[in-house]
């Protein structure tokens, strides 16, 4: 590392531009999830429909892959309209002159929310391991403040990212690390925008999709934004874009130079705010979206059926989850495990307790009991989770006398009141992500949130990248 800083950084430190903000946006997330478990869909036009059943023409497009978008298929479009633009592959017949050309057909699939939640949990696991401050905007979108993890310091070599950055920075390297971990551990692609503030990071993540990495360092923000259309400024939706066009404001540069009083007259308080964003001025902090619904950790493994390896991993995961719950001052009512069998068969099991507890030994014991169902199975990933969290102060730290049921399965959420024939042996080891890395969080069952101003512009709860929302996970 050369040890220097980017031009403009030192002068701008007072206004917060030493911050490093990532905006992580998953590319065509539902379609990417389908390709994860069906690799033969790679490169194919894929349409995922809400309220859609195979072979039917009712429902609406939840998301369309970039290949499908090339045919004009868009999010929220009726399936019947999408089929006019992109017929089903199943209807193609090269020997029938009246049938559609196979090269101009696509694959239509119904929404599988449970599977998408599992994959989203894997993505969030990476994000929570890579950043201390995260704002989850939707199931496939989040802001990360990584100022404590990296910096705008210049590293050796030229920037390999898209955008105005000329020199490679530590921030670029860390963003690439996050992207690669998402790809490796969740199996789906993401685009990442890197900037000194939230609104510019959001614009950057959209600038080089799919699978993009755009870095906008301090000192280059306004020049990066200037040539863009107003529609690309964070917070400008179709209605605002039309209003600005009527004011002869077409680009971010026009917006940055506009009279703030006139903007306020036309758009209210949002007008001057959008002007500031077009100038690269956004001092909002990345704020978390509320208390978590669960705390969890998971570890990737080389596929194995070895009982000792699985128990050692679950023991380490249980200890870490219980430690994190105690550090955050929360009790938990449910203990669960996650076991992923090759290639990507996700299984979860959980058991609810009679009351909230803080009991590391009980977490391990219940997790072992639930793991017994997979004693003979090969797994490629294991996770332990505590949920139904209670952050209120409580004197009830343990459930004295409670033992998990001895049926060896524990497939449901019922509390057991039997006793196992023998207490599970206690083991401790350091579990890794399969590549020598840290354990990653497994965060499932958390609510999603759509940025209010984006929702107000869209008039919908649709998250970014033209994809319909999964809604709350609770």
List, in sequence order, the alpha helices (H) in 38-112: 66-69, 79-85
Classify the C-alpha dihedral 127-131-132-136 as positive or negative. negative
Which residue in the list 141, 449, 454, 462 is annotated as catalytic? 141
Q: What is the Cα–Cα distance from 386 to 296, expressed in whole angstroms?
A: 6
In contact, 360 and 319? CB cutoff 8 Å: yes
Q: What is the Cα–Cα distance from 356 to 390, expressed in whole angstroms?
A: 7
Residue 384 backbone phi and psi in degrees, to 5: -130, 135
Q: What is the DSSP string of 254-269?
A: HHHHS-HHHHHHHHTT
How long, in residues, is the chain? Answer: 474
Residue labelled with tokens 């994809």 = 467
Q: Which two tokens stand for residue 399?
A: 């459930």
In contact, 170 and 150? CB cutoff 8 Å: yes
Q: What is the Cα–Cα distance from 228 to 256, expressed in whole angstroms?
A: 11
**Buried-state track 244-278, b at ≥16 Cβ within 10 A, e below 16:** beebebebbbbbbebeeeebeebbeebbbbbbbbb
Residue 281 backbone phi and psi in degrees, to 5: -105, 105
Partnered with residue 169 across adjacent β-strands are 154
The contacts of residue 243 (CB under 8 Å, 6+ apart) are: 266, 267
Q: What is the DSSP string of 182-214?
A: HHHHT---EEEEEESSHHHHHHHHHTT-SS-EE
| β-strand pairing of 46-50 with 21-26 | unpaired
Does the active-site annotation cover 298?
Answer: no
Strand order in the sheet with 107-110: 60-64, 46-50, 107-110
Q: What is the Cα–Cα distance from 193 to 221, expressed in whole angstroms?
A: 12
Residue 9 backbone phi and psi in degrees, to 5: -65, -50
Instruction: Please list the active-site residues.
Output: 141
């Amino acid at each position: 590392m050369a040890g220097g800083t980017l031009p403009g950084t030192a002068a701008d430190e007072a206004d917060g531009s030493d911050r490093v903000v990532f905006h992580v946006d998953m590319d065509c997330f539902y379609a990417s999830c389908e390709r994860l478990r069906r690799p033969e869909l790679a490169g194919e036009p894929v349409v995922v429909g809400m309220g859609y059943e195979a072979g039917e023409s009712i429902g609406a497009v939840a998301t369309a892959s970039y290949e499908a978008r090339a045919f004009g298929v868009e999010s929220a479009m009726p399936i019947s309209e999408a089929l006019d633009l992109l017929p089903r592959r199943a209807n193609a017949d090269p020997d029938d002159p009246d049938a559609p050309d196979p090269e101009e057909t696509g694959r239509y699939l119904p929404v599988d929310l449970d599977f998408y939640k599992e994959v989203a949990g894997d993505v969030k696991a990476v994000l929570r391991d890579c950043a201390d401050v995260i704002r989850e905007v939707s199931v496939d979108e989040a802001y990360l403040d990584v100022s404590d993890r990296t910096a705008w310091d210049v590293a050796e070599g030229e920037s390999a990212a898209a955008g105005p950055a000329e020199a490679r920075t530590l921030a670029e390297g860390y963003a690439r690390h996050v992207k690669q971990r998402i790809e490796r551990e969740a199996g789906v692609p993401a685009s990442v925008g890197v900037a000194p503030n939230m609104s510019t990071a959001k614009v950057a993540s959209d600038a080089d999709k799919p699978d993009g990495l755009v870095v906008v360092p301090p000192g280059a923000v306004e020049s990066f934004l200037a040539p863009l259309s107003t529609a690309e400024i964070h917070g400008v939706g179709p209605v605002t874009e039309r209003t600005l066009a009527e004011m002869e404001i077409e680009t971010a540069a026009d917006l940055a130079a506009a009279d703030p009083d006139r903007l306020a007259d036309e758009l209210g308080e949002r007008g001057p705010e959008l002007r500031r964003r077009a100038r690269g001025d956004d001092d909002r902090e990345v704020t978390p979206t509320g208390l978590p619904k669960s705390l969890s950790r998971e570890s990737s493994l080389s596929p194995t059926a070895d009982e000792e390896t699985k128990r050692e991993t679950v023991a380490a995961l249980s200890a870490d989850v219980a430690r994190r719950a105690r550090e955050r001052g929360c009790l938990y009512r449910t203990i669960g495990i996650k076991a992923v069998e090759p290639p990507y068969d996700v299984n979860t099991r959980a058991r609810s307790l009679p009351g909230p507890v803080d009991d590391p030994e009980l977490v391990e014991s219940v997790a072992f009991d639930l793991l017994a169902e997979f004693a003979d199975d090969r797994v490629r990933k294991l996770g332990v989770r505590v949920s139904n969290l209670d952050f209120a102060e409580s004197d009830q730290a343990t459930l004295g006398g409670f033992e998990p049921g001895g049926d060896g399965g524990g497939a449901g959420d019922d509390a057991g009141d039997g006793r196992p024939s023998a207490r599970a042996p206690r083991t401790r080891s350091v579990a890794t992500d399969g590549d020598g890395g840290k354990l990653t969080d497994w965060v499932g069952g958390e609510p999603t949130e759509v940025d209010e101003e984006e929702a107000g512009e869209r008039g919908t709860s649709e998250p970014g990248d033209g994809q319909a929302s999964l809604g709350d996970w609770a």
